[in-house]
A and B are shown apart, each in its own frame.
Chain A
């Protein structure tokens, strides 16, 4: 490579030899040959040794040699796949270092990055008010608004108008729960009013959910009339907006929830829930008549969700601003992928203009505690690495179950562990830019001592 040779020189030489064109190489006009590692043509080793610019000339020389019958094929053998040729052995690296072909520019190229917003998001998610103050017919100290999004959560396309909120579960009788949850509620488990107070005052609950599980015919079969007294107690004990849940028995819940809706008349309580498996019409009508909000529960099925929402609006007469959807929370490691994508599809559908899906969403995040990794002392599989301390595993299971679904579009989370509540609130509010804090110089991470 002692002598300099450029393409026009080469062309001249070839012309003198009366060679007009070589296979694959056009001599006339501008010549551009790409050395694509791994692709057909000049092999990567070849390009590697000669550098790209020199290679352009060299390719022509090689082609010329080929035309004259020189056995130069071996130089050109491409290696099967690009990545297989790297890394270079040390000698190769040394050899490469002596080739001046690799050229580092003096300055960085100038560039501007830009990306657009999603133009298909044309519909705003319904904004739903939970709770009502005296001024608007209820008795709550303040109201909470959820929904109202114009973009996917935390995206830059449009700011989220309302932060995700947490409602802490309160039960009308003591129930079995994981140790890491139970330890926080043992002292109040016999008194739903105290339980609700503790949830709000100590654990920062935005709302409380009163679950009337004792009404289940297989548990205590408490009458609806008796059960709703607990709702009155909770309304007295705290002044945050409330959620009212049944026992999950499809027959009894209709009676219990319609009665509860009457007791909470005008409070814009979230009634949990109407589903296709029970008399949704009765529950929907009672929400509409008593100015409460109806939770529409379906099981991981977007079309069922559309059907239920449609029926609640068209048949039961529930106003659009009084519907919240619960598309079912399958917990982390227990089908979270279904819950996540179902919710993400629902939210995207709503934003794109599907008016049967453009409602806020709720998540039964406490389902996380049903996952064995959240509560079991040790792994049943003896070959697993240690599962560590379950008291630390449980809360993070609830945090990540809720937070994943926050990323998919959930607006209200039904939770239990106070640590999990605090983290969920912190991360969602951080991602909305609401948490002010000095950010450390992140480039120090390499040398930090932990």
Chain B
């Protein structure tokens, strides 16, 4: 959607202020649509059959106006359904990127059953805690290595027995894809891929089984567009584009530039006939090296390239922590909504059930820092108080350097939060290690009635610090 004024969406709404959507007015709902916080389906009257005479045209126009610039394709079903594409902007600060590109990790039909099940379980259960959420893998890509349709179907079945995550079925052989679809179509997998050689058969499969399909025409955007137009003409519009991911050489530059061209065509030029989501294949890194560290690093680097510039979904291989962890964080960072505040409310908070004997920690009100410290205290069962000092959302190290946190600001923050050290048994608080240099000045400010202990530089080390330093010596 290019529209930025609620007024221009308001004219397509019923304008009755009926309140069914939960907003007081249709104008407020229009503002919610602009902010992408509301979906048009939430305006029930617009969709009611009996209102179609009245609202049919409005609804049709509204749908057109609010359609995302990069088409949105759904893969999977139910709770596990994934949104692929649906982006509106070229650069994240212009609004935000909405749907992080799902990572599909590969398995093959050449794996023996034990290895297959173990890998699927690894993919299925991988998780990492980050800023109040669990990061997880979204998909499994099943590759046909043997070329045998029966083996492929068996493999797909086995994968489905071990994970609910949506699948990508990968083969250029329509017979193999068909065998896979026979056992998985009900879960709406994405198929990969229609090519210049097999497109007729694969189109028939996409139609018969009603599944989204990837069109693969590497390094030829004219050819890719021609295939997309042909599929659209046939009524197949749940499309994903594979413009080719070269893992090295000058073709790698061409690959990135193709992704940039496609994203620009969709978001900046509004080319509606060719605005499908785009797939990257960082897995191709493994064609260039057999060294496991080199392969994983290079795959991560390729993943970063395309997460930042234009991929809407990608197929991956390395589940090594040194590949999956950094990539998950990179994707999280790039897809974080720049419009949401990153600060927590300054003030004193309880972790667990603190008493007068419990330690009092302090950190800044930068959300990332605050949640990290809180999670480290909570997951290690440390009953405590945690003061968030207002640094305008700047982290400890930077705010110490930039003056957003100072000894007097810390003292004021404790006073404002109503902390009375006389009522504690230890008469102390714990500074972040990064703010160690404030210790002396703070004790001066408190006229030596309160101890400013120096904690570790990383809150992950608080448990070890507690063992050695807590309670403080009198």
Q: Which of the segments A2-10, A137-145, A425-433 contacts the partner chain?
A: A425-433
Given A88-B209, A328-B398, A447-B144: A435 touches B248 (CB 8 Å cut-off): yes
Known interface pairs A397-B326, A404-B330, A445-B287; A380-B380 also in contact (CB < 8 Å): yes
**In the complex, what's the smallest C-beta–C-beta distance from B92 to chain A, in angstroms?**
6
- Encode contact with B along A413-450: 1 for CB under 8 Å, 0 otherwise: 00000000001000100111101111110111111111
**If A334-B368, A381-B375, A407-B309 touch, does A439 touch B249 (CB 8 Å cutoff)?**
yes
B-chain residues with CB within 8 Å of residue A334 when the two chains form the complex: 368, 395
Chain B residues contacting A384 (CB-CB under 8 Å) are 127-129
Q: In the bound complex, how far is the Cα of B69 from the Cα of A1, in angstroms? A: 40
Return the chain A residue nearest B146 by Cβ: A447
Q: Does A112 contact B (CB under 8 A)?
A: yes
Known A113-B225, A333-B130, A443-B216: A437·B248 in contact at CB below 8 Å: yes
B379 touches A382 (CB 8 A): yes
Give the size category of B's interface with A: 35 or more
| B204 adjacent to A423 (CB under 8 Å) | no
Asked if A93 is at the interface of the complex by the 8 Å CB criterion, the answer is yes
> In the complex the two chains form, is B234's CB within 8 Å of A102's CB?
yes
The distance in angstroms between the C-alpha atoms of A337 and B336, with both chains bound, is 7
Give A197 to B77 CA distance when docked, in angstroms.
59
User: How many whole Å from B173's CB to the nearest CB in chain A?
Assistant: 10
Known contacts: A113-B221, A392-B293, A430-B253. The answer to whether A340 contacts B394 by CB under 8 A is no
Contact with B along A116-143 (1 / 0, CB 8 A): 1010000000000000000000000000
Contact of A442 (CB < 8 Å), options: B185, B186, B246, B329: B246
Q: Which of A203-211, A264-272, A369-377 is the contact stretch?
A: A369-377
Q: Is B179 an interface residue (CB 8 A)?
A: no
Secondary structure type dominating chain B contacts: helix
**Cβ of B91 and Cβ of A443 under 8 Å apart?**
no
A1 to B275, alpha carbons, bound, how many Å? 37
Q: Which of A96, A345, A403 contacts B93 (CB 8 A)?
A: A345
Residue B125 CB within 8 A of the other chain: yes
Report whether B129 and A383 are in contact in the complex, using a CB–CB cutoff of 8 Å: yes
Task: Please state if A102 and B77 are interface contacts (CB–CB under 8 Å).
Answer: no
Count contacts on A: residues with CB < 8 A to the other chain.
Answer: 97
Report yes or no: B227 in contact with A154, Cβ–Cβ below 8 A.
no
Partner of A111, one of B56, B60, B222, B403: B222
Closest A residue to B51 by beta carbon equals A40
Residues of A within 8 A of B156 (CB): none
Which single residue of chain A is at the shortest CB-CB distance from B367? Answer: A335
A155 to B286 CA separation, bound complex (whole angstroms)? 25
Least distance between A162 CB and chain B CB atoms (Å): 16
> Is the pair B186, A446 in contact by a Cβ cutoff of 8 Å?
no
CA distance A403 to B256 in the complex (A): 14
Q: How far is the CB of A318 from chain B (nearest CB, A)?
A: 22
Among A156, A404, A446, A450, contact of B286 (Cβ-Cβ < 8 Å): A450
| B426, CB-defined interface residue at 8 Å | no
For A396, the chain B residues whose CB sits under 8 A away are: 296-297, 300, 322-323, 326
Q: Is A74 interfacial (CB-CB < 8 Å)?
A: no
The residue among A384, A399, A446 with the most chain B CB atoms within 10 A of its own CB is A446
Spot the interface stretch: B195-203, B416-424, B444-452.
Answer: B195-203
Interface stretch (choices B1-9, B15-23, B257-265, B352-360): B257-265
In the assembled complex, A26 has its CB within 8 A of some CB on chain B: no
- The 0/1 profile, CB within 8 Å of A marked 1, for residues 207-229 of chain B is 11111000010100111111111
Contact in complex: B56, A116 (CB < 8 Å): no
Contact across chains for B235 and A52 when beta carbons are under 8 A apart: yes
In A78-111, the 8 Å CB interface with B consists of: 80-81, 83, 85-90, 93, 96-97, 102-105, 108-111
Which residues does chain B contribute within 8 Å of A376, judged by CB atoms?
458, 460
Contact present for B297 and A103 (CB under 8 Å): no
Q: Least Cβ distance of A170 to chain B in Å?
A: 21
Q: Is the CB of B458 within 8 A of A154?
A: no
Q: Chain B residues with Cβ under 8 A from A404's Cβ? A: 304, 308, 330, 333-334
In the complex, the chain B residue whose C-beta lies closest to that of A77 is B49
Q: Which of B25-56 contact A (CB under 8 A)?
A: 41, 47, 49, 52, 56
- Digit string of A32-52 for contact with B (CB within 8 Å is 1, else 0)? 000000011100000000001
C-alpha spacing A407/B229, complex, angstroms: 32
A336 interfacial by beta-carbon distance below 8 Å = yes
Asked whether any CB of chain A lies closer than 8 Å to the CB of B283, the reply is yes
Evaluate whether A332 and B330 lie within 8 angstroms (CB atoms) in the complex, with A88-B185, A102-B234 already known: yes
Residues of B356-400 whose CB lies within 8 A of A: 366, 368, 375-376, 379-380, 394-395, 397-398
- Determine which of B41, B204, B238 lies in contact with A81 in the assembled complex, contact meaning CB atoms within 8 Å: B41
Which chain A residues border B262 with CB–CB below 8 Å? 115
Is B210's CB under 8 angstroms from A446's CB? no
The listed residue (B60, B238, B288, B401) touching A248 by CB distance below 8 A is B401
CA distance A98 to B60 in the complex (A): 32
Whether B11 sits at the interface, judged by CB under 8 Å, is no
Which partner residue on chain A sits nearest B60 by CB separation? A39
A-B contact pairs, 16 of them (CB 8 A): A80-B41, A83-B74, A86-B188, A87-B185, A87-B211, A88-B208, A90-B182, A108-B199, A113-B261, A115-B271, A299-B398, A376-B458, A400-B301, A436-B250, A445-B286, A448-B145
Given contacts A41-B52, A96-B208, A440-B247, 16 further A-B contacts (CB under 8 A): A39-B63, A93-B210, A111-B222, A154-B257, A155-B257, A218-B437, A330-B398, A332-B326, A336-B330, A344-B92, A389-B322, A392-B293, A395-B297, A399-B300, A442-B281, A445-B286
Q: Which 10 A-B pairs have the closest CB atoms?
A: A388-B321, A86-B210, A380-B460, A437-B249, A333-B329, A392-B322, A111-B226, A433-B253, A83-B74, A439-B251
B residues near A, CB below 8 A?
Answer: 41, 47, 49, 52, 56, 59-60, 63, 74, 77, 81, 91-93, 110, 125-130, 143-145, 147, 170-172, 182, 185-188, 192, 195-196, 199-200, 203-204, 207-211, 216, 218, 221-230, 233-235, 238, 244-253, 256-257, 260-262, 264-265, 268-269, 271, 274, 281, 283-284, 286-288, 293, 295-298, 300-301, 304-305, 308-309, 317, 320-323, 325-327, 329-330, 332-334, 336, 338, 342, 366, 368, 375-376, 379-380, 394-395, 397-398, 401-403, 437, 458-460, 463
Residues of chain A touching chain B, judged by Cβ–Cβ distance below 8 Å, are: 39-41, 52, 80-81, 83, 85-90, 93, 96-97, 102-105, 108-113, 115-116, 118, 154-156, 218, 248, 277, 299-300, 328, 330, 332-338, 340-341, 344-345, 348, 370, 372-373, 376, 379-389, 392-393, 395-397, 399-400, 403-404, 407, 423, 427, 430-433, 435-440, 442-450
